[in-house]
Chain A
Amino acid sequence: MQAIDLLWLIPALPLAGAAINGALAYARAPKPLVTAVALGAPLGSLLVAAAAIWQYLAGGLYPQTVERISYAWTAGGLDALHIDIAFLLDPLAAVMLFIVTFVGFLIHVYSVGYMGHEEGYARYFAYLNLFMAAMLTLVLGNNYLVMFFGWEGVGLCSYLLIGFYYDQEFPPYAGKKAFIVNRIGDFAFLIGMFALVARFGTLDFTSIFHRLAAEPGLGTAAYAGGLSFAAFVGLCFFIGAMGKSAQIPLYVWLPDAMAGPTPVSALIHAATMVTAGVYMAVRSNVIYQLTPGVSLFVAVIGTATALLAATIGMAQNDIKKVLAYSTVSQLGYMFLAVGVGAYSAALFHVLTHAFFKALLFLGSGAVIHAMGGEQDMTKMGGLKKRLPVTYRTFLVGSLALAGIPVFAGFFSKDEILAAAAASGLPLHWLFWGVGLITAGLTAFYMFRAVSLTFDGEFRGTHEQEHHLHEAPPVMTVPLVILAVGAVVSGWVELPLVRGADWFHRFLAPVVAVIAAVGGGAASAAAAEGELGFGTELVLLLLSVGVAVAGIALARSLYGGAGGAERGLAFEESYPTLHRLLANKWYVDEIYDAFVVRPLHGLSWVFYRVVDMLVVDGSIRAGAAVTRAGGDLGSLTTTGNVRNYALYFFVGVIVLCWWMAR
């Protein structure tokens, strides 16, 4: 049996793990057994995935798309819609598979330490394994329906894990918010799939992309609402990605999703699930290559999201909120890359971001763990000495996020900025400029967080200080491994490693440019790496300079002894701006006033008027008419024999008349 024939096993193992742990949760099984199942399932996935990827690369299969049909899902006639439960492995899926299984396994290990004292240990791991199963289905599916199946599965697990502390008030609310906001995007995703089925009669990636590439007219001929077919589908899919990957205007669920346990934030809301939208967009790159207009829209939304989230991140005092807005912001970068046609750069950022953001979240988890659940950075400080491993790894993650050379984030962010500057889109220098400003803001807010948390004197209670402790090895070892990844994962693009742009060339078969499809699309597609060396060097120096400036500013404001007090006082000296940012531009309040409340009112109208009055009313009216008819009829039941004799007589007369007629 070849490893590559066992692709189905990769999602199946965590699925089985979820089922077993679900049963163990009921049986109140001992913790070691739960732990063995919880870690065994993703480890098995990791090993099978590694073997499959190894065979794919070393076995001469690259750069083909390997597809394995597990089950013919829909039976039917020859012309019926055929959708199979089938999995594929190609360079894009291989990268995602690596991220999900590797980072996922590390976070499972970390969770053993982090969740060790929590109620619902087995339940937690059942959900987490189920998430792995769904995410791997999403990544490996060879058609849009299997992908959508995983897409909904990760949404469900996200909901379950955000609301994990169901006995508190806020987490279940946050879970519902995430689920409902995602539903808006999923609706558009479904519409896009319906359009594909109606046009092509299939949802398989390979056949759809071949036919799209063969019929460039689909990118120009009007289809619906003034959009071409490709633009319509691309827009629908992007709206789906907006929900899953937290882009304007559907990003509001992600910061609230921090109500879940911190390893969940690391795995689902930073490293893997939220990048599913980026994966989907890169997977569908043929569609976006055909539609420069939609690509421009994607770039605009991505850039705006990156900037907006970064500004909010500057004024948050909750350490997880900072990281949450940072995630939204980095996802914006990824969509900027998708919009300018730099698909491999987008996926490169997914890869590096998975390492350094998972690292940062797990680091913050170690801090919260040490602080006894405290998340407010204004009550931390001085943790540098008490949590040395956490501090060093967190610093590595922050440097990677800020885009300092040598660290991974630098390479991927720089590639995106260069692609934005080189793209043929209108306003491409604006995209680059906003991206650059955002990079500066990113460096600033990250080192504000580092300084507030680790520098200066401890500002918490004596009891908290007494309990401060470095996390156990089961938590610090994943931190160290991720820290290594947060450095070296960027090196795959270095000339030293297997020639320059290795990652880019590795993905080339998936993001191959469609030959000569309209001027705009061709120039957008040709975006990657068309700048002169001199220009590229200047841009690179500029982005590094901005990052260093951001760090220096944050250090000078918040760093050193008494820095926190100084910095927080500085924030208070701009009360209006600070309040605006700390309250997230009041976006939640605006949504509440313009979306949630009107919807609430509308549903009240539907409940009270349509349901209670029209629907219930018509049924009640039918019952009332029947009852009145019965009452009327019962008037004849007098009990008087002579009346009955009269009815009888009249009946006979009528019968005689009818028969003699």
Chain B
Amino acid sequence: MSAGQAVPVSWYLLLAVVLFAVGTIGALTRRNAISVFLSIEVMLNAANLALVAYARQLDQRTGQILVFFVLAVAAAEAAVGLALFIAVYRQRRTIDINRLNLMRH
């Protein structure tokens, strides 16, 4: 593949699929809440990657700008999520999600 030649959009999509699968497996298998949270961020960014790839392919500015909004919201959400983990840790002295099963009761 020579310089100046654009990377085909399918490659981006393939990468997004791989990232999404990695994130999903991580979210379903990890026990540490922060790891689960990170995996979910990976899934989100996989979706983001697919969005920006399509926007570039279709030459849509709106889509490319929208991605920044998603990143901004994700950053805010990460802050809230991490704050929650700290609060939980103070209460329960753990953030192992196998032991955070209060929803059962």
Closest beta carbon of chain B to A56's beta carbon, Å: 87
B28 touches A649 (CB 8 A): yes
Does A640 contact B28, Cβ atoms closer than 8 Å?
no
Q: How far is the CA of A638 from the CA of B105 in the complex (A)?
A: 9
Given A640-B97, A640-B98, CB of A645 within 8 Å of CB of B104: no
Residues of B within 8 A of A641 (CB): 36, 97, 100-101, 103
Give Cα distance in the complex from A645 to B103, angstroms. 13
Judged by a CB distance under 8 angstroms, whether A639 is at the interface is: yes
- Would you call A646 an interface residue if the criterion is a C-beta within 8 Å of the partner chain's C-beta atoms? yes
Q: Are A639 and B103 in contact (CB under 8 A)?
A: yes
Tell me, yes or no, whether A461 is within 8 Å of chain B by CB: no
Interface of B is mostly: helix
The residue of chain A having its C-beta at the shortest distance from the C-beta of B99 within the complex is: A640
A649 to B27, CA, bound (A): 10
Determine whether B64 belongs to the interface, using a CB cutoff of 8 Å to chain A.
no
- Taken together as a complex, chains A and B put the C-alpha atoms of A638 and B97 apart, in Å, by 12
Which residues 47-105 of B sit at the A interface, judged by CB distance below 8 A?
97-98, 100-105
Asked if B101 and A639 make an inter-chain contact with CB atoms under 8 angstroms apart, the answer reads yes
Interface residues of A in 615-646 (CB under 8 A from B): 637-642, 644-646
Q: B102 near A639 (CB under 8 angstroms)? A: yes
B24 contacts across to A, CB distance below 8 A: 649
Q: Does A639 contact B105, Cβ atoms closer than 8 Å? A: yes
Residues of A within 8 A of B36 (CB): 641-642
Q: Which A residue sits closest to B40, measured CB to CB?
A: A645
| Interfacial chain B residues near A642, Cβ < 8 Å | 28-29, 31, 36, 97-98
Kindly state the separation between the CA atoms of A640 and B104 in the bound complex, as whole angstroms: 8
- With a cutoff of 8 Å between Cβ atoms, the chain B residues found around residue A638 in the complex are 101, 104
Q: Give the CA-CA distance A209 to B102 in the complex, in Å.
A: 84
Residues B104 and A639 in contact, CB atoms below 8 Å apart: yes
Residues A645 and B28 in contact, CB atoms below 8 Å apart: yes
A644 to chain B, nearest CB (A): 8
User: B-facing mask of A468-480, CB < 8 A → 1, else 0?
Assistant: 0000000000000
Docked-complex contact A645 and B27, CB < 8 angstroms: yes
Contact across chains for B101 and A640 when beta carbons are under 8 A apart: yes
Tally A residues with Cβ within 8 Å of B. Answer: 10
Q: Which residues of A contact B97 (CB under 8 A)?
A: 640-642
C-alpha spacing A642/B96, complex, angstroms: 11
How far, in Å, is A641 (CB) from chain B's closest CB? Answer: 5
Q: Which residues of B contact A645 (CB under 8 A)?
A: 27-28
A642-B29 Cα distance, complex, nearest whole Å: 7
Q: Can you name the residue of chain B whose Cβ is closest to the Cβ of A644? A: B103
CA–CA, A649 and B25, complex, Å: 10
* Distance to closest chain B CB from A636 (angstroms): 11
Closest to B100 in A: A641
Q: Once bound together, how far apart are the Cα atoms of A646 and B36, in whole Å?
A: 13
Residues of A within 8 A of B102 (CB): 639
Please, how many angstroms separate the alpha-carbon atoms of A649 and B29 in the complex?
A: 13
CA distance A639 to B103 in the complex (A): 5
Q: How far is the CA of A641 from the CA of B36 in the complex (A)?
A: 10
- Please give me the residue from chain A that is nearest to B24 by CB atom: A649
Shortest A656–chain B CB gap in Å is 12
A75-132 with Cβ < 8 A to chain B: none
CB neighbours of A646 from chain B (8 A): 28
Task: Tell me whether B104 and A637 are in contact (CB under 8 A).
Answer: yes
Question: In the assembled complex, which residues on chain B have CB atoms less than 8 Å from the CB atom of A637?
Answer: 103-104
* Complex: chain B residue closest to A639, CB-CB: B104
A637-B104 Cα distance, complex, nearest whole Å: 6
Per the bound structure, the CA–CA distance linking A638 and B27 in Å amounts to: 17
> A329 vs B79: C-alpha distance in the bound complex, in angstroms?
104
**What CA separation (Å) do A642 and B24 show in the bound complex?**
11
Give B30's nearest chain A residue, CB to CB: A642
With A and B bound together, what is the CA distance between A107 and B100 in angstroms? 89
Bound-state CA distance A649–B103 (Å) is: 19
**In the complex, what's the smallest C-beta–C-beta distance from B99 to chain A, in angstroms?**
9
**Residues in A neighbouring B31, C-beta threshold 8 A:** 642
Chain A CB count within 10 A is highest, among B24, B100, B102, B103, for B103
Query: Chain A nearest CB: distance from B53 CB in Å?
Result: 20
B29 shortest CB reach to chain A, Å:
8
The chain A residue with its CB closest to the CB of B29 is A642
Which residues of the other chain, A, contact B27 by a CB distance below 8 angstroms?
645
Tell me how far the C-beta of B69 lies from the nearest C-beta in chain A, rounded to whole angstroms.
Answer: 23
Closest to B31 in A: A642
Residue ID in chain B nearest A646 by CB atoms: B28
Q: Please give the distance in Å from A385's CB to the nearest CB on chain B.
A: 94
| Interchain CA distance A453-B98 in the complex, whole Å | 99
**How far is it, in angstroms, between the C-alpha of A641 and the C-alpha of B28 when the chains are bound?**
9
Tell me the smallest distance from the CB of B36 to a CB of chain A, in Å.
8
- Minimal beta-carbon separation of A359 from chain B (angstroms): 85
A444 to B100, CA, bound (A): 101
Once the chains are docked, how many angstroms separate the CA of A638 from the CA of B101? 7
CA distance A639 to B100 in the complex (A): 8
Q: Give bound CA distance, A642 to B31, whole Å.
A: 8
Contacts of A640 in B (CB 8 A): 97-98, 101, 104
User: For A649, what are the chain B residues with a Cβ–Cβ distance below 8 Å?
Assistant: 24, 28
Whole-angstrom CA separation of A640 from B28 in the bound complex: 11
B 15-45 binary contact with A (CB < 8 Å = 1; else 0): 0000000001001110100001000000000
Contact residues in B for A639 (Cβ distance below 8 Å):
101-105
Q: How far is the CB of A660 from chain B (nearest CB, A)?
A: 15
B91 nearest CB across to chain A (Å): 16
Cα(A649)–Cα(B24), bound, Å: 8
CA distance A638 to B100 in the complex (A): 11
Q: How far is the CB of A633 from chain B (nearest CB, A)?
A: 14
Chain A residues within 8 Å of B98, by CB? 640, 642
Q: How far is the CA of A579 from the CA of B56 in the complex (A)?
A: 117
Shortest C-beta distance, A264 to chain B (Å), equals 70
Q: Which of B24, B28, B36 has its CB near the most chain A CB atoms (within 10 A)?
A: B28
- Distance of A646 Cα from B30 Cα, bound (Å): 12
Q: In the complex, A462 Cα to B102 Cα: how many Å?
A: 90
In the assembly, what is the distance between CA of A226 and CA of B27, in Å? Answer: 85
CA distance A645 to B40 in the complex (A): 11
Give the complex CA separation of A328 and B98 in angstroms.
89
Pick the 3 closest A-B CB pairs, nearest first.
A639-B104, A639-B101, A639-B103
28 contacts between A and B (CB under 8 A): A637-B103, A637-B104, A638-B101, A638-B104, A639-B101, A639-B102, A639-B103, A639-B105, A640-B97, A640-B98, A640-B101, A640-B104, A641-B36, A641-B97, A641-B101, A641-B103, A642-B28, A642-B29, A642-B31, A642-B36, A642-B97, A642-B98, A644-B103, A645-B27, A645-B28, A646-B28, A649-B24, A649-B28
Q: Which residues of A does B touch, CB under 8 Å?
A: 637-642, 644-646, 649
Known: A639-B102, A642-B98. 18 other contacts (CB 8 A): A637-B104, A638-B104, A639-B101, A639-B103, A639-B104, A640-B97, A640-B98, A640-B101, A641-B36, A641-B97, A641-B103, A642-B28, A642-B31, A642-B97, A645-B27, A645-B28, A649-B24, A649-B28
